[in-house]
Amino acid sequence: MQRLPATHTMVKLCDFRTEKIQEAGATSKAAYIQWKAAKPARRHIKGLLEQMAPGRIRCMYCLDSRGTDIDHFEPKARTPLRTFSWDNHLLACSHCNSNEKRDLFPCDPSTGACLLIDPTVDDPADHLKLLPRSGELKWRTPKGQHSIAVFGLNRDELRKGRADACEMFISGIVRWHDQVQLGKIEVAMRTAVRLRRADFPEVLRTLEGLAGTPLASILEDRHFPEALSAWAAGSDHRGAAPSIHTGFGAPLSAHP
């Protein structure tokens, strides 16, 4: 997920508020007061985050619920002077932000490095793998382990949602392939656009990573391996609609 550059207006608004926090002693209380008062700055930040968000303005952590909150990746209480830092803002749903993450920010005790995945910096494939049939995420690194725990990425509704999405993407890709083979290109393009915009895009990326591998045949539908290979071959990965398919990024390491 690529972070967009901050606008000139947003930088000015945020710099002004950061100066106010500094003048008030750079305390967490000052950070909370300035954040609450900074409606124009928050509006600009949220608008830019919504442009970056996956799917239909999805939460950047769970990719399921609508992103409604501006989350401070490194909490305001920990680093008040980063309250208005653009690279410290992510879009989250209220559950991930308020019920799960809150002010948690685990760090490596030896190096001090953050142990959470920042989706604008890190490739989730380096830290997580998805079991598409069950919808469960497995960790590959300490950063993946802490991210699953802190964001609650294996809570029941997410696991069930990813498993349901797997079924939907499998049938959708097979349907898309049938449409292409029948020469119904415009219909196939509309199907591809709907699949690209569906929730749980990481499930689609994971399935794409199975293209041309024996694992594709384990997913039961006998037409799926051929359809998936055609889908992957038709991907342009430039984000340009409506050319059959575009990807949101690198696939998570997969295991059915």
Average pLDDT (165-179) is 94
Runs of H (alpha helix) within the chain: 8-23, 28-37, 39-52, 94, 142-151, 156-181, 185-197, 201-208, 224-233
- pLDDT at 202 exceeding the cut of 90: no
**Whole-Å CA distances, 244 to 44, 178, 204, 226, 236:** 33, 13, 14, 16, 8
pLDDT value at position 23? 98
Average pLDDT (206-210) is 89
Dist CA 110 CA 185 (whole Å): 56
18-42 pLDDT per residue, tens: 999 999 999 999 999 999 999 999 9
Q: Write phi, then psi, for 186 (nearest 5 degrees).
A: -65, -40
pLDDT value at position 218? 67
pLDDT value at position 252? 47
pLDDT value at position 217? 75
Residues above pLDDT 90, as percent of the chain: 71
0.85 exceeded by the pTM? no
Mean pLDDT of the chain: 88
Confidence class for position 247, pLDDT limits 50, 70, 90: very low
Average pLDDT (47-71) is 91
Dist CA 16 CA 52 (whole Å): 24
Cis peptide upstream of residue 124 (ω within 30 degrees of 0): no
Confidence class for position 235, pLDDT limits 50, 70, 90: low
pLDDT value at position 249? 33
Q: Which of 148-157, 162-171, 195-204, 247-256 has the lowest mean pLDDT?
A: 247-256
CA R_g for the chain: 20
Confidence class for position 255, pLDDT limits 50, 70, 90: very low
- pLDDT at 240 exceeding the cut of 80: no
